[in-house]
């Protein structure tokens, strides 16, 4: 699944809002212009943030394990997101 060049499991950076500069993982899509993002810390997987695609910058890094779990409907843990984002350097 892809929206505006952004795919499930991709790391994105927030360009606007209070969370500007923070990195998140795309965990879902809604309608035409919205994505659901989570970081496993302030924004948990079970309560992701809904954000417009124009307020996010692509990083080009896709977490393949997370993407596969999301596509198959398996549970992604908050610890998994935190670890991957920490390894990314965010």
| CATH code for the domain of 20 | 2.30.30.30
Q: Order of strands across the sheet with 10-14? A: 49-52, 34-38, 23-30, 10-14, 56-62
9 and 25 Cβ atoms separated by less than 8 Å: yes
Q: Select from 54, 59, 47 the least CA-distant residue to 22.
A: 59
Q: State the Cα angle at 63 between 62 and 66, rounded to 5°.
A: 130
Would 10 be classed as within a structural domain?
Answer: yes
Number of structural domains in the chain: 1
Would 88 be classed as within a structural domain?
Answer: no
Is the pTM of the predicted complex or chain greater than 0.75?
yes
Would 48 be classed as within a structural domain?
Answer: yes
Which domain does 7 fall in, by range? 2-77
Which pLDDT tens digits describe the chain residue by residue (90 residues)?
A: 566 688 999 999 999 999 999 999 999 998 888 999 999 999 999 999 999 999 999 998 999 999 999 999 999 999 999 999 988 775
């Amino acid at each position: 699944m892809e929206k505006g060049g952004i795919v499930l499991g991709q790391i994105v950076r927030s360009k606007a809002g209070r969370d500007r500069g923070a990195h998140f993982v795309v965990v879902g899509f809604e309608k035409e212009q919205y994505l659901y993002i989570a970081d496993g810390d302030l924004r948990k997987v079970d309560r992701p943030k809904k954000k417009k695609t124009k307020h996010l910058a692509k990083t080009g890094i896709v977490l393949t394990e997370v993407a596969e779990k999301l596509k198959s409907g398996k549970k992604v843990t908050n610890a998994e997101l935190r670890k991957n984002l920490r390894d990314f350097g965010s």
